[in-house]
Chain A
């Protein structure tokens, strides 16, 4: 009986963790990048998305006060470990002593999606983490 109760509790906690955790469907890293990250980092990852450089898109707003990371730069990206990148995505820029304009995506994306995104960034920079 006790075993059964434990089993039920385990299943309930497991289900709650799964349901409560972000994404409702499985998207590829590239799809996630183009949906979320590209708003600031640009579809090509060069850090020139519409929020960073509105005027380049014909929008009359000043440039962003900080420059979003250029994900295609192997020089910049190789200074960061994969853990640094995952933390920045999950907990936002402030968690890695960068700008809070980079918001936390830890409640939006699953851990697996964040790891996949990190691998996608490594493809963009053609580099490895430190």
Chain B
């Protein structure tokens, strides 16, 4: 290949990288702008760290915090959900008596992609990739259902039906939504993500290996 050809090829590569990078940046910037213009921040916290100290601090929040979205969610799911939102919490956010009948606002396909791209940039350093194998194993099910009674508050699939409690988020398709590595981090460092919550702290009760198995089981629910 002549020097001229190599030069042209390099220019092409650099320009392609620039265009791809630029359009991604645009999408990110658009997503951030859409998030702001639709006032999503009135219900969703996007700047960490968590600052709640009392029940009231938690109870006055109107929706789940999103400041670690990129560590928590699977991007394809997030894009799809923002376009066609479906109920995850069976009860209204923060309530243990009122059914969740709220309709989350839906975005257009393009808006959903842009907002998802933006939210996926919000990460927490406590979540590290690769420690959890996402699979609905019998061991995981045993820990989740029998040993630690997680099913008391969280529903999962039981054959064609669902079974379990309603006060925690529905986990019957959690694997489409959640990264197993995040579930593990949430169990291991609960105060980082949600210092005040109705779920008990299991640090010092469930050992590290079991936490990984449970996280894998949750992320294996599809």
Chain A residues packing against B (C-beta within 8 Å): 22, 24-25, 27, 31, 35-36, 38-40, 43, 49-51, 54, 57-62, 64, 92-93, 99-108
Contacts and interface: CB of A to CB of B under 8 A. Distances in A.
A58 B53 contact: no
A57 B99 contact: yes
Main SS of chain A's interface residues? loop
Contacts of A102: 149, 152
B60 to A, nearest CB: 14
Chain B contact residues: over half helix, strand or loop, or mixed? Answer: loop
A105 B126 CA distance: 24
B205 A107 contact: yes
Given A49-B167, A50-B91, A100-B148, 17 more contacts: A35-B198, A36-B198, A39-B165, A40-B165, A51-B165, A51-B166, A54-B90, A54-B166, A62-B161, A64-B165, A100-B146, A103-B149, A103-B202, A104-B205, A105-B200, A107-B203, A107-B204
Interface of B: 53-55, 90-91, 96-99, 146-149, 151-153, 155, 161-167, 191, 195-196, 198, 200-205
Given A24-B196, A107-B204, A51 B91 contact: no
Given A35-B198, A59-B91, A101-B152, A50 B205 contact: no
A38 B200 contact: no
A43 B96 CA distance: 9
Contacts of A103: 148-149, 152, 200, 202
Nearest to B154: A51
A99 B148 CA distance: 10
Nearest to A66: B152
